[in-house]
Homo-oligomer: A and B are copies of this chain.
């Protein structure tokens, strides 16, 4: 598969049957499939698709991963830290972690380190510095990615989460905060855990290749 990223199928806007057919083709041609934003019906349809494949579904992250019987998952000598501000950010952070893991990175998850209690994130700074790329998931005002990027030297990817009501809600404030950050970071769209995890995985792949040089 192009770029070592697993073939990913966005379930929204497609029927369960359409998703299952696309997943079957992906497993047959690339050895695996990754379905994101799957509802119950879609996850079931994919889980049923092929007796030989190993299917792993996670209802909180709404992902389904299928591996062909003979698929050998990659293992990189590089790691990705996935940091989440609070409980509500965990599912989206989980989507990023699944993708980065599929690309082969070692994934280190750090939860519940929102900025309302700075000690928690300060306590984790060294752990984050040890990763090769960092994804930081946060909703509401989304201050966490800015704070993390001010603490570490590793490339940081902001992952805004669609929490929060009222004006700037649904992750818009968090996205705007990432775009306006006075620390250096790049961002993905609201709830785009797949994209954040995949980009972190690509950086990990580049580092792994350089280490192998």
Contacts and interface: CB of A to CB of B under 8 A. Distances in A.
A115 interface: yes
Instruction: Tell which of A13, A151, A196, A205 has the most Cβ of chain B within 10 Å.
Output: A13
Interface stretch (A49-57, A67-75, A172-180): A172-180
A183 interface: yes
Copies of this chain present in the complex amount to 8
Contacts of A126: none
Interface string A1-20: 01111000010111000100
Interface string A183-202: 11111111110011011001
27 contacts: A2-B150, A3-B152, A3-B184, A13-B88, A13-B139, A13-B163, A14-B88, A85-B182, A86-B182, A115-B143, A115-B183, A117-B150, A140-B180, A140-B181, A141-B146, A143-B143, A143-B146, A153-B205, A155-B199, A166-B190, A167-B176, A168-B176, A168-B189, A186-B187, A186-B188, A186-B195, A206-B207
Interface of A: 2-5, 10, 12-14, 18, 22, 37, 78, 85-88, 114-118, 122, 132-133, 139-143, 146-147, 150-155, 157, 160, 162-169, 171-192, 195-196, 198-199, 202-203, 205-208, 210-211, 213
